[in-house]
Structure 1
């Protein structure tokens, strides 16, 4: 039975990932801010919550993230940038998942395959950015991609069977995207979860450090 740890398990995608993983027969442990007091932007909170865990996990997914934080919506131009929005985006969408990975490594087995995945977003791809805008969110997701990529290199030295990746789930029908999804094809959270877990099932250590979308296609940095 694949032991699975899902961070952000009370969110739209996180809850769907938990349910889908359980349907697959995985032994799922879910942690969230609302249910467990886990604040990924507070390292002490991560340490405190993770002390309650035991054993190892074959799959760890960080499904946390936010688009609008404290009323700061995606910018339409550089003129709309603020230090506060940049800081909040980095804390939530880059620093948070990176700190989760830092403290989750202790739970990844060294003697068998293991996977760590963080939910990123295609808009964090520098190479794929053709329209600009959404500067703080884009920059935070690009930073997350770099952090996960760099960590994967280190992880390969200690966990030779591990896979560490970023995933783009697509535009999912959740409260997170409701206001911004009008021009984009959306999928229910349950379908997004199925897609992501199927992608993860097909990955190997040779894929570690890469960025994949919901179809399994590699996304450019």
Structure 2
């Protein structure tokens, strides 16, 4: 898949607005700024649970992807501004005070697993439920969610990380299913998952190699890679998962 120029994409992609969910995270914030800098959208909505301040044309709105009432409220705010040509779900959880990636099945905690699924799987599904209807039924638009290579079943050679792997695998299936449904009502909408690689964020900090190791990106670098992928997407790519370098991730 070859990325095209920003100018050609702007002519094709310009609808009105873009939305980034999880905009307070490292990747989400960098993506929000990169999308705003592209001048492809009139307004870029930065949605997150935590308040953030970014310059115009970025507007902040609160959202909690684990609460459908919150998702609905955020949808209403963005809908008032017009149609949405791009939605990126950049929220996600790998670890927390009571959540740790499992090294063995014996340590699996059902409550922690449910929390991981609520953010990584159900959350993006709720976002799709409420935001896809705001996307144009004609003309190119994109719905993307951050996935992970560890969600690939074929690529799983190390085991472990049960909740996180399963939540991303389930997300990939939701995106595939959404792509099929969206093709009937929004035939030019592209639905994809994005694997950002290893990025210097709080999510990856306990597990990544040395920060200066090859293949470890700053959030801004990651955002530029993902922008290239988004700009190069074709309708035939809908339902697939792509890594930061544009290469497909096996199912």
- Give the CA deviation at 1:45: 0.8
Find the counterpart in structure 2 of residue 45 from structure 1.
70
Residues 1:18 and 2:43 are matched in the alignment: no
CA-based RMSD: 1.3
The gaps in structure 2 that reach 5 residues or longer are: 1-9, 52-60
TM-score, normalization by structure 2: 0.85
Find the counterpart in structure 2 of residue 194 from structure 1.
224
- CA offset digits 1:81-117 (Å, max 9, x no partner): 1111211111110000111011111221112101000
Which one of the candidate residues 144, 154, 169 is aligned to 1:117? 144
> C-alpha separation between the residues in 2 aligned to 1:171 and 1:213?
11
Q: Does the 8 Å CA contact 2:98/2:112 hold for their aligned counterparts?
A: no
Q: Secondary structure of the equivalent of 1:58? A: strand
Which one of the candidate residues 116, 122, 125 is aligned to 1:89? 116
> C-alpha separation between the residues in 1 aligned to 2:216 and 2:162?
22
Matched ranges for 1:130-209 at <5 A = 130-182=157-209, 185-209=215-239
Q: Secondary structure of the equivalent of 1:68? A: coil
Find the counterpart in structure 1 of residue 47 from structure 2.
31
> C-alpha separation between the residues in 1 aligned to 2:74 and 2:86?
18
> C-alpha separation between the residues in 2 aligned to 1:158 and 1:189?
34
The gaps in structure 1 that reach 5 residues or longer are: none
TM-score, normalization by structure 1: 0.96
Moved more, 18-27 or 4-13: 18-27
